[in-house]
Structure 1
Amino acid sequence: MTKLRLVPPVSSDPHAMDDLRTEVRGFLAEQLSEGKIRRQVDSWLTGWDEDFTRALAARGWLGMTVPTEYGGHGRRHLERFVVTEELLAAGAPVAAHWIADRQIVPSLLKYGTEVQKHKFLPAITRGECYFGIGMSEPDSGSDLASVRTKATRVDGGWSITGAKVWTSGAHRADAFICLARTAQLDPAHRHDGLSQFIVDLHAPGVDIRPIMSMNGQHHFNEVLLDEVLVEDEMVFGTIDNGWQQVTSELSFERSGPERFLSTFVLLAKTAEQMKQGTLPRHSNLGRYLARIAGLHQMSTAVAGALERHEPADTAAAVVKVLGTSTEGDIADFADLLTDESSPPRYTSMLEDAIVQRPGFTLRGGTNEVLRGVIARGLGMR
């Protein structure tokens, strides 16, 4: 009987990068003690701090996997994984560069032209260029293939009209990669005729409207595009190959440590409060720590597979489903333990987790959809 493996094995020495972890932890401790940053729940979405981003860039911790010929550092994916994991575990404010460094960098390296690589990769590595993602649309739900944003061929480029929604950081970003339909929709082949474009978010015809969270914070946006001109040199990849490009990007989006560490800082604070006696001790603390440890191993394994250019779509979906469920469970666990006597800083962190909780299992593909991805990856029908 063939043994079924959902996640690739961890093939590297888990202690090989202990020195790098120690270096990152020391830097973060210094930043915290000097009051330059504070610990935040869901910091990769809510923690926009361009000064901190530039401080990371100065340490060589942005664009780590970008080849040196494009202004990067030519380091391994696993090294980048270690740095990002430590940043997230500390609740550091990484939102400004997160999408650019996590998703746009590998996409540019795989599909970008030389003009695009030289334009954007050095700027991302310096912490000076911020990106969003233009995939989701109003009324489309998780059906990405139903996008109605249309790109029409014009002299010297493409005219794009449509709407994108849930675009994180668009009101502060410089550009986003937009998925648009470049051919008539064929109901029998819905994934055909889609293309990607790098759109300047300050261009004429771009209207960015805020979507406010329940706590009044502004992270998400609706982006309206009204005949926005995109020159030919900003066509991303191959026309009509957008679906294949998008799906190849999703392993980077779904498998990283941000899919299980969004509420880790709350879990750590909960353990601290238990130790101090301000919260009752509970055995589930150990269970959640064990789940995080397992997810760390799984996510590390996927990072290794991506570094080896091995397919990891199914494994990434597994990490995302289990990880985001754990993030929400941690918020619920802390909520049940807390009462009016809990310290204000802890209560504030918990409130942020509760507000963000509904988004954990939605962004990057709903867990319901991803269970289908996992089933197909296992050959189930």
Structure 2
Amino acid sequence: MTGLLDNLAPALLPAHAERFRDEVRAFLASELPPASADLRARSWMGYDAAFSRRLAARGWVGVTLPAEYGGAAMDAFSRFVLVEELLACGAPVSAHWIADRQSGPLILRYGTEAQRRFYLPKICAAEALFCIGMSEPNAGSDLASVGTRATRIEADAGNGGGGWRLQGRKIWTTNADHCDYMIALVRSAGSAEDRQRGLSQFIIDLKLPGVTVRPIRDLSGDAHFSEVFFDDVRLADDALIGREGAGWEQVTAELAFERSGPERLYSSIVLLDRWIRWLSAQEAGQATNAAQLATVGRFAAHLATLRQLSIAVTAKLAAGESPIVEAALVKDIGTEFEQQIPAAIEAALGADPAADVDADLLRAAAYLSQIAPTFSLRGGTREILRGMIARGLGLR
């Protein structure tokens, strides 16, 4: 692990990013209505397209995309600050989240000029909402075994000019029922035994005939996941992103975008903040609970260290590098931290059954306890990430 950490040289957020933080905080103070802790704890999954459009009006959706495509042309450090502030206050980011973080940068890097000019300005205006189609039923974490297939249609006078015919389905697709487009990894050649070869990425208009979206309700009562069915869906030639057969290289880069930001540290931060505030109110004039103080101190130390690692990854992005393995490392230990918070807080609350715990804190703890197991699944399971890290260390 030491060799890998050596690649993450200590880095600081530059002065311009810290100045930007003040601007973001002022915006959130005026534009984000008050909400209970359990609602703010849903920040990752909080869907509010109107709020995303208000962010976009400030130029804060697609902040790292070039100005010629509607972006703010900011650097990765400024995006770090923006994401950190949004999650710290529990802002509902889900509507624009994937397009801003993954779809836009992917199209910028691999798309045609026509795709860039069509999709990127809409992403930056929060007018085109994207989801990602990777996971499939019966495939587990084995992304290379996808079975959804795109078959080329040979152009002739009777079929309207060729294109692709799509068959299959995707599952655990976030916000598919709200989104306009999906970027899907599908097999365009060969069979599942060919693994990474023969995979391609396509932009799919979810309003096309043959597309069916079925929301999935989870234990918390939310329905932010969906299963998406493709029944003989006709795609135009320009739906293909990049080269046919280059999907594995592209999706690997996309996952690096997904894993490299501070998103993987702050999923439980609203609960931690709410608990600390409750402790402060409870302990006013009372003896300090040493065990609870130790827990708070441990979380503060872990967060400070993880944040430094995340900033180091951001520095690599700002330098034009693609820190795939380093991002996997930070994502792995970051999601473990996120999962520890609700478990520790529930244990602390349960240790004193007579304590007068307010309902807002209890609801936030209950929600995060239910949803926390997904933290180490989304964006790549813990086992897959640790395999990547092992290869990066030369152990596999």
Match for residue 390 of structure 2?
Answer: 375
| Residue identity in the other structure for 1:325 | E
Pair 1:291 & 2:302 matched: yes
Provide the C-alpha distance between the structure 2 equivalents of 1:276 and 1:14, rounded to a whole number of angstroms: 36
**Residue deviations 1:225-254 (CA, integer Å, cap 9, x gap):** 011111011111110110111011111111
Partner SS, residue 338 of structure 1 = helix
Question: Which deviates further from its counterpart, 340-349 or 156-165?
Answer: 340-349
Provide the C-alpha distance between the structure 1 equivalents of 2:179 and 2:115, rounded to a whole number of angstroms: 17
Asked if 1 retains the 8 angstrom alpha-carbon contact of 2:265 and 2:335, the reply is yes
Provide the C-alpha distance between the structure 2 equivalents of 1:178 and 1:256, rounded to a whole number of angstroms: 22
| Residue identity in the other structure for 1:254 | R
Task: Give the percent of matched residue pairs that are identical in Structure 1 and Structure 2.
Answer: 46
May I ask how many residue pairs the two structures share in their alignment? 377
| Residue identity in the other structure for 2:280 | K
Task: State the shift of 1:29 in Å.
Answer: 2.2
Match for residue 344 of structure 1?
Answer: 359
Pair 1:146 & 2:151 matched: no
Structure 2 gaps, min length 5: 156-161
1:190-205 matched pairs, under 5 angstroms: 190-205=195-210
Match for residue 168 of structure 1?
Answer: 174
Task: State the shift of 1:325 in Å.
Answer: 0.4
Asked if 1 retains the 8 angstrom alpha-carbon contact of 2:148 and 2:186, the reply is yes
Pair 1:364 & 2:369 matched: no
Match for residue 249 of structure 1?
Answer: 254
**Residue deviations 1:35-72 (CA, integer Å, cap 9, x gap):** 4897622412x200011101111112111111111111
Pair 1:48 & 2:50 matched: no
Partner SS, residue 218 of structure 1 = coil
Match for residue 75 of structure 1?
Answer: 74
Asked if 2 retains the 8 angstrom alpha-carbon contact of 1:211 and 1:218, the reply is yes
CA RMSD of aligned residues (A): 1.9
CA pair 317-260 structure 1, distance change in 2 beyond 3 A: same
Partner SS, residue 201 of structure 2 = strand
Question: Which deviates further from its counterpart, 237-246 or 304-313?
Answer: 304-313
TM-score by length of 2: 0.91
Pair 1:269 & 2:268 matched: no
Partner SS, residue 282 of structure 1 = helix
| Residue identity in the other structure for 1:215 | S
1:93-112 matched pairs, under 5 angstroms: 93-112=92-111
CA pair 157-6 structure 1, distance change in 2 beyond 3 A: farther
Asked if 2 retains the 8 angstrom alpha-carbon contact of 1:137 and 1:147, the reply is yes
Pair 1:117 & 2:93 matched: no
Match for residue 339 of structure 2?
Answer: 328
Task: State the shift of 1:322 in Å.
Answer: 0.4
**Residue deviations 1:2-32 (CA, integer Å, cap 9, x gap):** 9553542244555442211111112222234
1:305-320 matched pairs, under 5 angstroms: 305-320=316-331
Match for residue 234 of structure 2?
Answer: 229
